[in-house]
A and B are shown apart, each in its own frame.
Chain A
Amino acid sequence: MATASAHHTARTQADEAADEAARTAAYEVVFDAAVAADERIEPRDWMPDAYRSTLVRQIAQHAHSEIIGMQPEANWITRAPSLRRKAILMAKVQDEAGHGLYLYSAAETLGVGRDELLDKLHSGRQKYSSIFNYPTLTWADVGAIGWLVDGAAITNQVPLCRCSYGPYARAMIRVCKEESFHQRQGYELLLALSQGTPEQHAMAQDAVDRWWWPSLMMFGPPDDESSHSAQSMAWKIKRHSNDELRQRFVDIAVPQAESLGLTLPDPDLVWNEERGHHDFGAIDWTEFWDVLKGNGPCNDQRITQRRRAHEEGAWVREAAAAYADKHTSPAVGTTSTTGETGATRA
């Protein structure tokens, strides 16, 4: 005992630091091997801080996008032109709330609370997909969102089902399974308009004209300008590059537009036999960055509505919490913590 304690006190801070570094290095080897072997990283596993913060940022942004994304479509629930369409649209907007919840739940396994994430959304410190800063001006926009925006989202999301972080991958599997109807309903809606009266056809074409380019921007900046891409690919959070996914989406959309009887608003869109892909025109990245910075048509409106719903709901959340205080045993359910048995993490 005496020797051990003497030995212990003799150790310097430098020794401790060296030990810590060695431990971290050892953990990192195990982590890297797991990622390389396509195994999933789970909440209580050791992970590099940057991996954790990248995931929090990405999952939170994804969750926020689902929640903010409810607004442009909810804008048409009360005006849906048939009861069938109204039921479909309500179910779809409801799914988006659900998807937001699955994703917040995944983010919470990383040690951040949903309230903290919502605060960051409300104060503009975390982003959501810029596509939702465009307005839904006509009923056809609901169809264009389903076909193009959800189509682009699905192209992005399917590879995320194999993301290296388990809870995120599992949330995405659930989301993708449920989302399969979203794109189809959008396509069907546009088809009905395209084959309808001349006014309906014009409405559909106008919506596609407005949503096509912003949809292409959803894949993010070109690979050579994307700041997070390389590391995310190495960690298998991301499986394909922005440009790869964008190309995949264009190749899928072109024949779909043809069978819709609608034109995509790009004169440079042409099949390139050599590449085996469609070439397409230059994207206006100035608009993308401008909208991202807050200057889109609906940035203020979306955040204001979200913040208002949250603030106006505060008394309801307080009431339920007060009721629970009075009526449930204090032993359970009163501590906010992190999900998926990451429970002991502070």
Chain B
Amino acid sequence: MTLTVNTAAALALGDDALVLSHRLGEWAGHAPVLEEEVALANIALDLLGQARVLLSMAGDEDELAYLREERAFRNLQLVEQPNGDFAHTIARQLYFSTYQRLLYAHLASGDGEFAPLAAKAVKEVAYHQDHAEQWTLRLGDGTDESRARMNVAVQALWRFTGEMFQPLDGVDVDWDAMQTAWLESVGDVLRRATLTVPEGPRTGAWTAGAGRQGLHTESFGRMLAEMQHLHRSHPGASW
């Protein structure tokens, strides 16, 4: 697949939304309280909507979602991480929604190809960030058990957060400034939640790269196998 610059960016951002939406969809019927079934599904649906717009900018949404191999996906490793317990899901949401909000706010203010989508999506992701923040505060400053679980989660996912600020061809952003803003925002929420701000490395030691280079974590292959198997079992069929 040869890609134009913007197609590559649309794929990267679209894959982020597609994969995270899929992971959130796995919560259906398993959420810790019924009200949260509705909230998580809302977020998953927003993300799926974004994914469909972005993938359609790069080609046929279903061909891209269902017929690419694992190595061709360009999403961040962060969004493909398994749900874990609710604390892991909330930590993943906090990290990603803060990033997405900063990025889309920037894209919405410009006049590039992504501006119309970003203008709509930034309102959605503001809500996602608020949801993640509210829950981070409650889990962090809740019970001893919830604080312990949340500390484990923010620490475990920390090493996937550096990848978000690798320059993305076709997206004109001051990535360093965005990273500073992200660290400030996330650090502020974690501190208010009485959690420990992690200090370890924010990227892996593997110089070959990560999700944006099509290098993923092991569980991602199984996620795709489940997602794609029905579509692939009926080549050429319409649904």
Contact = CB atoms under 8 A, between A and B. Distances in A.
Answer yes or no: A and B touching, Cβ < 8 Å: yes
A199 B38 CA distance: 35
B136 to A, nearest CB: 11
A207 to B, nearest CB: 14
B64 to A, nearest CB: 9
Contacts of A81: 66, 230-231, 234, 237, 239
Contact of A139 (B55, B149, B227, B230): B230
A50 to B, nearest CB: 29
Interface stretch (B29-37, B122-130, B161-169, B173-181): B29-37
Contacts, number: 140
A313 interface: yes
A101 B35 contact: yes
Given A67-B34, A79-B230, A87-B49, A318 B143 contact: yes
The secondary structure that dominates the A interface is helix
Contact of A319 (B37, B55, B142, B230): B142
A322 B145 CA distance: 11
Nearest to A312: B32
A101 B38 contact: yes
Contacts of B45: 87, 90-91, 94
Contacts of A87: 45, 48-49, 52
A100 interface: yes
B29 A93 contact: yes
Given A77-B25, A93-B29, A101-B34, A316 B146 contact: yes
Contact of A90 (B28, B36, B227): B28
A257 interface: no
A113 interface: no
Contact of A79 (B32, B49, B226): B226
B142 to A, nearest CB: 3
A77 B139 contact: no
Most chain A beta-carbon neighbours within 10 Å: one of B52, B139, B238: B238
Given A82-B231, A309-B32, A323 B61 contact: no
B203 interface: no
Nearest to B141: A323
A315 B41 contact: no
Contacts of A189: 239
A305 B30 CA distance: 8
Given A318-B146, A326-B141, 5 more contacts: A71-B29, A82-B66, A192-B239, A315-B149, A319-B142
12 contacts: A81-B66, A82-B231, A84-B239, A93-B28, A97-B37, A309-B30, A309-B31, A319-B143, A322-B143, A323-B137, A323-B138, A327-B141
